[in-house]
Amino acid sequence: AQKVTQAQTEISVVEKEDVTLDCVYETRDTTYYLFWYKQPPSGELVFLIRRNSFDEQNEISGRYSWNFQKSTSSFNFTITASQVVDSAVYFCALTWGSSNTGKLIFGQGTTLQVKP
Amino acid sequence: DVKVTQSSRYLVKRTGEKVFLECVQDMDHENMFWYRQDPGLGLRLIYFSYDVKMKEKGDIPEGYSVSREKKERFSLILESASTNQTSMYLCASSLGGQTEAFFGQGTRLTVV
């Protein structure tokens, strides 16, 4: 069965600190896709990144970076020099296989609070 | 700009009522989804649809049904609302199985 675990329920940091959000996944499929979404207080989930199982390259986008390690089944998300606007709930998600349904399995979410 | 629109942000309904949650997307996406979000549980899939009139159960379909008569519209129906269905409901759509999903703003439903 597929599963996504975000062990950190809540994280609180002070502005300009770096913070890493952990994500561990389980799947038996060799083809799968991992995602990160941000949910600000407005409620709408905002897509941040997609990574497929065949591409282990890390990615950097501005202050955001992602570390994908198949050996540890992890897909961690780091925010460098955090800002108050980064305060949100962050979800890691997984879809798998070659079917076209796009069903997502989500982690429990990590609430990030960035204090000024 | 791509858009998934849910008909209501907040709803309060009485136990036993039949409740309709509407979702419309303007991206011509094949796949549409209804998720339920509860604290500590993340998002859980209720139903999804991969084509007009086609639907499949997700992980928690009990007490819910869906309707997709047009490609752009996906409705979630609570046949007889109960207090344990008080939750945030999120609609999403995607082009294909490997692409990102786009989400609506959510409907916070309270059943009293």
Contact B33 A35 (CB under 8 A): no
Among B98, B103, B105, B109, the strongest candidate for a mutation testing the A interface, having the largest count of A CBs within 10 A, is B98
Cα A98 off chain centre by: 22
Tens of pLDDT, residue by residue over A6-43, are 999 999 999 999 999 999 999 998 899 999 999 998 88
For residue B103, which residues of chain A lie inside 8 Å, CB to CB? 37, 44-46
How many angstroms separate the CA atoms of B3 and B26, rounded? 6
How many angstroms separate the CA atoms of B84 and A91, rounded? 23
Over its length of 112 residues, how does chain B's per-residue pLDDT go in tens digits?
A: 669 999 999 999 999 999 999 999 999 999 999 999 998 889 999 999 999 999 999 999 999 999 999 999 999 999 999 999 999 999 999 987 788 899 999 999 999 9
For residue A35, which residues of chain B lie inside 8 Å, CB to CB? 100
pLDDT at res. B99? 85
pLDDT at res. A17? 97
Q: What values do phi and psi take at A42, rounded to 5?
A: -65, -20
Q: What values do phi and psi take at B5, rounded to 5?
A: -120, 125
Per the structure block, which two tokens stand in for A110? 């990590």
Q: What number of C-beta contacts closer than 8 Å exist between A and B?
A: 74
pLDDT at res. A57? 84
pLDDT at res. A58? 86
How many angstroms separate the CA atoms of B47 and A73, rounded? 27
Distances in Å between the Cα of B109 and the Cα atoms of A106, B21, B97 are: 21, 9, 28
Tens of pLDDT, residue by residue over A50-108, are 999 998 888 889 999 999 999 999 999 999 999 999 999 999 999 987 665 788 999 99
- Strand locations in A22-71 (E): 24-26, 32-39, 46-52, 59-61, 64-69
pLDDT at res. A100? 58
Distances in Å between the Cα of B68 and the Cα atoms of A24, A111, A116, B73 are: 34, 34, 46, 6
Nearest-Cα distance to chain B for A63, in Å, is 21
pLDDT at res. A56? 84
Per the structure block, which two tokens stand in for A94? 């997984």
Contact A50 B99 (CB under 8 A): yes
